């Protein structure tokens, strides 16, 4: 399925990213989607009834991010059969698959990446195309099903128009190009610029799924990078309190706005067994363990922490060779409004829009239909309505 054009809403002015970012997600044939193209803005939320494909869109985005980080195909798609469009018939050789892609924007201009994956009978990449600047920069194709490789050809524009070589069929060829292209000719430099832009945009992704039950338990000290489920919240709060004073102060202000009762501090208590427990200061020296907070408050607190911090605090493999000022973090949040009330959702969206205005943060998530109503009231948020 695809979004209705009239359902796409963009508010506010155009925000230019500080670094490369994904600006379009294409689900040519993926799970419940066929021929779907979605524009991705600084804050983009997928909305629609159950079964409309909201989570599938984020699943495809995260899979592309993992491939861009160099992960093997089976880790990016742990359930490849579930990615094949329902009702898709196998060909004469019994093969079925799916196709996804994205466009990134950055110093190299718009660059398109399209990937065709065979899910059955064997999981493998059977075709990949990277295009930019009016040129086909990389193509791969499966020539011999008996080999675990694809034949790749990339733009050279030298004495030889293209360079041909085999690449593994379980990795994204674009992510391998910086290791394979010499960069001697103008064409090779164009290929490298496009590949590096795509890889940096895809690697700069943090998928966040706060799990309140895990956030309530004490945790060991020293684990200062926030994990996907935010179960180590206490350890991260200890780190931000000492190393990120200004961001921690903003987090306290956000907690005050989104949690019940006054919040004057966010702290950490070291228990007798050495474990850490996060606490909420209520004033007058009184502190409440976060375990007493409701699920919505905990999710709101964790998501605020994610939005206020970058790769140095989040457990993600950022592009270390690129200065942080030149990177744009994209947060993926499936079920963004789960357990949140209207005030908390508005607070998170306002925070995302405010931080994203500098071009260093983007938020892509899914919301319920009631959450979409709130989101449409927030300037700077794009809501993509899906139909079942």
Between strands 21-30 and 361-367, the pairing is unpaired
Closest CA to 152 of 135, 168, 131: 168
Mean pLDDT by 10 residues, the chain (388 residues): 36 55 97 96 95 96 97 97 93 93 97 98 97 96 92 90 95 96 93 96 94 94 87 91 88 94 92 94 88 96 92 65 64 97 96 91 96 95 93
Helices and strands of the chain, counted as H and E runs: 10, 16
| The predicted structure's pLDDT at residue 13 | 40
| The predicted structure's pLDDT at residue 365 | 98
| The predicted structure's pLDDT at residue 318 | 56
| The predicted structure's pLDDT at residue 17 | 56
Stated length of the chain: 388
Q: Residue 25: how many CA atoms within 13 Å on its side-chain side?
A: 27
Tell me: cis bond preceding 121? Omega within 30 of 0 counts.
yes
| The predicted structure's pLDDT at residue 209 | 96
| The predicted structure's pLDDT at residue 3 | 44
| The predicted structure's pLDDT at residue 222 | 80
| The predicted structure's pLDDT at residue 360 | 87
Burial class (CB in 10 A: 0-12, 13-18, 19+), 24: middle
Q: How far apart are CA 49 and CA 384, in angstroms?
A: 12
CA angle 195, 312, 15 (to 5 degrees): 60
Q: 0.75 cut: is pTM over it?
A: yes
**SS3 call for 178:** helix
Closest CA to 183 of 193, 174, 170: 193
Beta bridge partners of 25: 38, 102
């Amino acid at each position: 399925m695809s979004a209705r054009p009239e359902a796409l809403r963009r508010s506010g002015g155009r925000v230019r990213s500080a670094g490369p970012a994904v600006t379009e997600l294409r689900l040519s044939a993926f799970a419940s989607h066929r021929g779907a193209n979605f524009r991705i803005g600084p804050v983009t939320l997928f909305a629609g009834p159950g079964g409309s494909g909201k989570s599938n869109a984020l699943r495809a985005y995260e899979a592309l991010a993992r491939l861009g980080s160099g992960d093997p195909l089976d880790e990016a798609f742990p359930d490849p059969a579930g990615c094949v469009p329902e009702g898709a018939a196998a060909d004469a050789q019994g093969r079925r698959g799916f196709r996804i892609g994205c466009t990134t924007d950055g110093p190299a201009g718009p660059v398109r990446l399209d990937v065709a994956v065979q899910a059955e009978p064997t999981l493998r990449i059977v075709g990949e195309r990277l295009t930019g600047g009016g040129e086909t920069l990389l193509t791969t194709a499966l020539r011999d099903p008996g080999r675990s490789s694809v034949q790749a050809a990339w733009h050279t524009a030298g004495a030889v128009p293209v360079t041909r070589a085999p690449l593994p069929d379980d990795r994204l060829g674009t992510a391998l190009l910086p290791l394979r292209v010499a960069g001697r000719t103008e064409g090779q430099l164009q290929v490298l610029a496009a590949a590096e832009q795509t890889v940096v945009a895809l690697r700069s992704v943090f998928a966040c799924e706060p799990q309140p039950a895990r956030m309530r338990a004490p945790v060991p000290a020293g684990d200062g990078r926030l994990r996907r489920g935010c179960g180590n919240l206490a350890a991260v709060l200890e780190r931000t309190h000492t190393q990120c004073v200004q961001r921690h102060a903003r987090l306290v202000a956000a907690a005050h706005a989104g949690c019940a009762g006054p919040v004057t501090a966010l702290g950490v208590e070291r228990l007798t067994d050495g474990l850490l427990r996060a606490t909420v200061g209520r004033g007058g020296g009184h502190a409440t363990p976060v375990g007493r907070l409701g699920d919505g408050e905990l999710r709101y607190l964790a998501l605020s922490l994610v939005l206020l911090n970058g790769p140095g605090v989040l457990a993600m493999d950022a592009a270390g060779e690129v200065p942080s000022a030149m990177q744009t973090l994209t947060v993926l949040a499936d079920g963004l409004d789960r357990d949140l009330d209207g005030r908390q959702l508005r607070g998170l969206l306002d925070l995302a829009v405010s931080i994203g205005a500098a071009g260093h943060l983007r938020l892509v998530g899914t919301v319920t239909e009631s959450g979409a109503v709130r989101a449409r009231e927030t300037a700077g948020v794009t809501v993509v309505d899906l139909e079942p």
